[in-house]
Structure 1
Amino acid sequence: MAAAAPRAQGSPGQVDKNMAWIPLHALLDGASANRQVAHDPDLDLATLGRHSLALAGALQARGVRRAGLWFDDAAQLAVALLACWRAGATAVLAPDGRAATRADLSRQDAGLDLWLTDAGPEVDPDPTAESAGMGGDKGGDKGAGMDTNTPPRTRPGPVAATIESLMAGAAPLPGGPLNLDTGAVVLCTSGSSGQPKQIRKGWRQLAAEIEALEALWHWSERPACVLGSVSAQHMYGLPFRLLWPLCAGRSLARRQLVYPEALQHASLPHAGFVWIASPALLKRLGTSLDHAALRGGLRQIISSGGPLPAEVSDSLARDLDCRPCEIYGSSETGAVAWRQGAAAWRPLPGAEVGIGSGTGSGTGSGSGIGTGQALWVRSPWLEGGQAFHTSDAVQLTDEGFILLGRMDRIVKIEEKRIALPAVEQALATHPWVREARIDLAAGEKRLAALVALTPRGVHALRNGGRAALAQALRAHLAPTQEALAVPRHWRFLRDLPWNAQGKLPRADFEHALQRPRWPMEVAIGAGDKAAPDGGPRDARDASNVRDTPHIDGPAGSASTPAARRYVLDVPLDLRQFDGHFAATPVVPGVAQIDWAMKLARRDLSPSLAFRGVDALKFQRLIRPGDRIDLSLRWEPARGRLYFEFRGDGQPCSSGRILTEARADDV
């Protein structure tokens, strides 16, 4: 196995003896050997140090005490973080780069003195000008979407600047060891609902965490490039994609790689590489990767942010000879434990876990074994040395612990307490269900379920209908669950809509519950790949897209024919399946005509009228989960829109839509 079980020996304090390891506090002391830090473009440690010290000088000269950071480029984020640390400033890592987020952060806690970013449209063109004061109520803000007529003192958010603009002409601070007890990093949680919470992490805590990781996996002993599908701005990505590689001498891939194809493309140039991924991405890998090309260089896969289904772990172990190492933890605790496959979770070196009050020293060594009790954790990277009580119910084992579900995901319906994880776990034991997410729908008093189906489940849906499928799942739950715990509303999908951090926010859950009326548009030529701008698109939401490259003539001309071609995925439980038909759902012909007409209005001419249809042929059924091709050809001079749907290279339907009245209709 490429990711063999690591050696858990030594203590975090002993890692420094490794010549390849540079302690976190020594990254700017100038005495360490130079080495490559990042790729595309290349960046070495000496250059990173010069940039950080120059930026630190600029921050100190401007009296910056709290700086908001948002970087897509992980190497630029490293420069900014080390500069803030050297200048004694707190670095606030924003959850995203939106102007509204910048304004919100400037109003929370102690506010922000400056916003550092590599996002061009949000950057103030002259951050050194007199109007570029520090703090949300002192200076102008020329970010995108701001009203430049608003008086400067009332504009929300601090001035935005790039590293390059602040470094220009700045006197750098001297290098040297950094003080682990000055400065801090503030992270914003990406919770399922509500206002993101700010969590402060001292540099001593961050150093202790990555030293524990190094003691376990010894990254400094073997070079590799670290690539990730998760943001380095979050508590998972920060140590794994950024701080640990910097200290271990492993190079960084600068950009977050959210699609499997992008991850593969960025990996192959390197002799050795590691993936820092979310379960959401690993579940989408499927068969789209070149396993033979990747297998030789893949050193390790690390997954965190949510549960990784056993079949995904097994398939990666089989296809890539690399079983993922899962990390258990949270923004509050940092990394706590790890496992591979179905094994129990094992605490990281230096971490303690237990159940009960947390005042003892239980570490999961066998004493105090119980079921359904909340886990507590204690580690050198938890502030104050106090036990942190989680909301995860666990059972302790000799090796560590087994997760049983979230204790805070309990709802009350008609005075009955229902543990949602227990219902999800029971549902996932059915051979048709890969995973499920259950909650109360907005304004409802009964549960709703998002269910990701296995191939067997998709087959059952296609050949029995959604009503029969839902009834079978209800019957499966009935023997073990209260009647009120059996969902009333069902939505069936191939994959649950986890975000890049492995979360399913409440708003996304609510949106996913709505059964669609339109197919999902896939980038042409991508095979099973996702569209480059965010995966398959809902045709409803792409009405402003005008850049489809497959054009056989100029669109919008009064007389020139034009054509478009699309690849569409048919949702598993399209609303139009209702009534067409109960046991064998098919896309009705009127829906196919509607899809063709709406896409033509989007991409050919928004003023196209529907005057009728003729020459209709229906030759093959379009079913749930089918991938189909749609060809459109518009002949303005004749007032005809020709369409053809094909599946697996075979014609499904075709016809011509009349966009002008025929002479015999007048």
Structure 2
Amino acid sequence: MVTGSRLAELMLRGPTTNHVVCFGRDGAERRCGELIVAAAGVEARLREQDGERWALNLGDGFELTAALLGCWAARRTPVLVPPTLLATLDRATLDGVIEHSADATAAARRIVWQTVEASARPLGELAPNASLELYTSGSTGVPKKAGRRLANIENELAALESVWGARLGTARVLSTVSHRHVYGFLFRILWPLLERRPFAIFDYEYPEQLLGSGGRGNVLVSSPAMLKRVGHLPPGSGQWSAVFSSGGFLPADAAADVSRVLGVAATEILGSTETSGVAWRTAGSPSFELLPSVEVRVSSDELLEVRSPFAGVDGWQAMGDRVHFRADGTFELSGRADRIAKIEDKRVSLSEIERRLVEHHYVKDAAAVALEASARQYVGAVVELTQAGRAALEQRGRAAMNSALRSALRGRIEAVALPRAFRYTHAMPVDAQGKRQVAVLAALFDSGSV
């Protein structure tokens, strides 16, 4: 367990070591001394302003890091929130925004990054009780807050380093995920910062960018949303030293593609915004191994519960995953807890519909959604087809595919639960963190056709 702030120590010693902290698309490097004077500039601006909670609406990793440190030095609370949720937070939640553009939001108080001047004054000390707020939408789109203390964050970073530090060495860190979520914030920003691994201030957006010399010997922080798209690339064309994935489970075929194309098996991280990191496994393995200092147990309804020094709350937290423990202390997940919807006064398991659909050889992935039209409730299914399924859809048409899938479900689920409408997609719609959003899935049915 961490007893003193290593990050605070790094900020004090940074001007003397002045090591490389990060780099841009053009390869230009930024050093620790630059980061500290930029953070001091943010601190100076904040001390001229009222307000405790400041959202960091910055897509550049260097700017985000400097703003974070400036907030902590000014004794303010930085808030990380995805841009899609920022507009939904009212002024009672946020006191101000630090952002790159003057017209990005309608915040009452705003600091525009371009107006921040580097300060020659020493950066203020980071308080031991410094805190951070994160917001997540889960699957509902409604913002939900999770808090962290600096001590929670540094405990987790120490655990990550104890597991993977020797393997990563001095590798550079690149990413396809946002740093405005807890996984990206820790794995692509603060962990590299603390261990002096230079990190990219930009995102990789396309699978083709994962090839070539940019990845050789370096670390990739990614998600299933990106890693499921590498299968068409040439074998062995990327030689990464480590690939991390979080935000959802990596399908077996995608895991095989990662090993074949990127040259290393992906490491899957299990966690949530509320719990932070919980466990990990090598993609392809059925069982998860706990991160150091994390405790888990099974609740009375067989769901995974977690207690962790990385979370911002004491006590046990439920994760909503069904779990089976093995004799060696590892555990396997057996699916999410059932999502229940009321359809025509009957309780219908959306999870069960999804499980039954993916058993069909035409279906690669499926999402069931409770819908309503003309005061009548029904189930819709969003389906990502396999290669065989896509061929059948093209040859036989949508009506025949709908009929085939309903026939496969008939007799295995109640009649009222049979999907009345289907939508076929090339890839399951997910957000930047690989999460399904109910509103986005439901919107696919707005046209009214089946």
With normalisation by structure 2, the TM-score equals 0.89
Deviation at 1:415, TM superposition (A): 4.1
Deviation at 1:28, TM superposition (A): 0.8
Measure, in 2, the Cα distance between the counterparts of 1:482 and 1:402: 29
Once the two structures are superposed, residues 251-305 of structure 1 have per-residue CA deviations (whole angstroms, 9 ceiling, x without a partner) of: 11111223223444xx733542222112111122231x4543412xx11111111
Measure, in 2, the Cα distance between the counterparts of 1:350 and 1:509: 37
Once the two structures are superposed, residues 73-108 of structure 1 have per-residue CA deviations (whole angstroms, 9 ceiling, x without a partner) of: 01110111011111111001232078xx35x43523
Q: Do the aligned partners of 2:243 and 2:264 also contact (CA within 8 Å) in 1?
A: yes
Corresponding position of 1:311:
253
**Comparing both chains, which one has the higher relative contact order based on Cα–Cα distances under 8 Å and sequence gaps of 6 or more?**
2
Measure, in 1, the Cα distance between the counterparts of 2:287 and 2:347: 28
1:78-157 to 2 correspondences below 5 Å? 78-96=65-83, 101-102=86-87, 104-109=88-93, 111-112=94-95, 114-118=96-100, 120=101, 123=102, 143=103, 157=107
Moved more, 330-339 or 409-418: 409-418
Q: Do the aligned partners of 1:224 and 1:270 also contact (CA within 8 Å) in 2?
A: no
Amino acid in the other structure paired with 1:236: Y
Deviation at 1:335, TM superposition (A): 1.2
Note if 1:70 corresponds to 2:17. no
1:146-295 to 2 correspondences below 5 Å? 157-167=107-117, 172-174=121-123, 178-182=126-130, 184-218=131-165, 222-264=169-211, 268-269=213-214, 271-287=216-232, 289-295=233-239
1:350 to 277, 280, 293: 293
Amino acid in the other structure paired with 1:25: A
SS in 2 for 1:451: strand
With normalisation by structure 1, the TM-score equals 0.62
Note if 1:412 corresponds to 2:362. no
Amino acid in the other structure paired with 2:181: H
Once the two structures are superposed, residues 413-463 of structure 1 have per-residue CA deviations (whole angstroms, 9 ceiling, x without a partner) of: 244333222321221122211111111124352211111111111122222
Measure, in 2, the Cα distance between the counterparts of 1:476 and 1:274: 43
Moved more, 66-75 or 382-391: 382-391
Amino acid in the other structure paired with 1:256: D
1:367-446 to 2 correspondences below 5 Å? 373-398=302-327, 399-407=329-337, 409-443=339-373, 444-446=376-378
Amino acid in the other structure paired with 2:349: A
Measure, in 2, the Cα distance between the counterparts of 1:240 and 1:256: 13
Structure 2 spans left out of the alignment, 5+ residues: none
Measure, in 2, the Cα distance between the counterparts of 1:89 and 1:417: 47
Corresponding position of 2:416:
484
Measure, in 1, the Cα distance between the counterparts of 2:424 and 2:49: 55
Amino acid in the other structure paired with 2:13: G
Deviation at 1:219, TM superposition (A): 5.8
RMSD between aligned residues: 2.7
Note if 1:510 corresponds to 2:442. yes
SS in 2 for 1:513: coil
Aligned residue pairs, count: 442
Measure, in 1, the Cα distance between the counterparts of 2:343 and 2:65: 48
Amino acid in the other structure paired with 1:189: T
Amino acid in the other structure paired with 1:401: F
Corresponding position of 2:39:
52
Measure, in 1, the Cα distance between the counterparts of 2:390 and 2:215: 38
1:447-458 to 2 correspondences below 5 Å? 447-458=379-390
1:528-567 to 2 correspondences below 5 Å? none
Distance 1:63 1:28, change over 3 A: farther
Measure, in 2, the Cα distance between the counterparts of 1:202 and 1:470: 50
Distance 1:466 1:213, change over 3 A: same
Q: Do the aligned partners of 1:356 and 1:373 also contact (CA within 8 Å) in 2?
A: yes
SS in 2 for 1:322: coil
SS in 2 for 1:250: coil
Measure, in 2, the Cα distance between the counterparts of 1:491 and 1:308: 23
SS in 2 for 1:50: helix
Measure, in 2, the Cα distance between the counterparts of 1:80 and 1:423: 45
SS in 1 for 2:377: coil
Corresponding position of 2:429:
497
Moved more, 56-65 or 38-47: 56-65
SS in 1 for 2:170: coil
1:602-621 to 2 correspondences below 5 Å? none
Corresponding position of 1:632:
none
Measure, in 1, the Cα distance between the counterparts of 2:268 and 2:215: 23
Measure, in 1, the Cα distance between the counterparts of 2:234 and 2:195: 28
Q: Do the aligned partners of 2:238 and 2:263 also contact (CA within 8 Å) in 1?
A: no
Deviation at 1:194, TM superposition (A): 4.2
Distance 1:415 1:407, change over 3 A: farther
Structure 1 spans left out of the alignment, 5+ residues: 1-11, 17-21, 124-142, 146-155, 358-371, 517-574, 579-666
Amino acid in the other structure paired with 1:314: A
SS in 2 for 1:480: coil
Measure, in 2, the Cα distance between the counterparts of 1:427 and 1:62: 55
Measure, in 1, the Cα distance between the counterparts of 2:424 and 2:114: 49
Q: Do the aligned partners of 1:328 and 1:338 also contact (CA within 8 Å) in 2?
A: yes
Distance 1:515 1:280, change over 3 A: farther
Q: Do the aligned partners of 2:216 and 2:241 also contact (CA within 8 Å) in 1?
A: no
Measure, in 1, the Cα distance between the counterparts of 2:44 and 2:122: 5
Deviation at 1:381, TM superposition (A): 1.2
Distance 1:68 1:219, change over 3 A: farther
Measure, in 1, the Cα distance between the counterparts of 2:214 and 2:311: 38
Corresponding position of 1:336:
278
SS in 2 for 1:82: helix
Larger radius of gyration: 1
Measure, in 2, the Cα distance between the counterparts of 1:420 and 1:383: 31
Distance 1:338 1:270, change over 3 A: closer
Q: Do the aligned partners of 2:146 and 2:312 also contact (CA within 8 Å) in 1?
A: no
Distance 1:261 1:307, change over 3 A: same
Q: Do the aligned partners of 2:338 and 2:350 also contact (CA within 8 Å) in 1?
A: no
Q: Do the aligned partners of 1:353 and 1:378 also contact (CA within 8 Å) in 2?
A: yes
SS in 2 for 1:380: coil
Amino acid in the other structure paired with 2:99: T
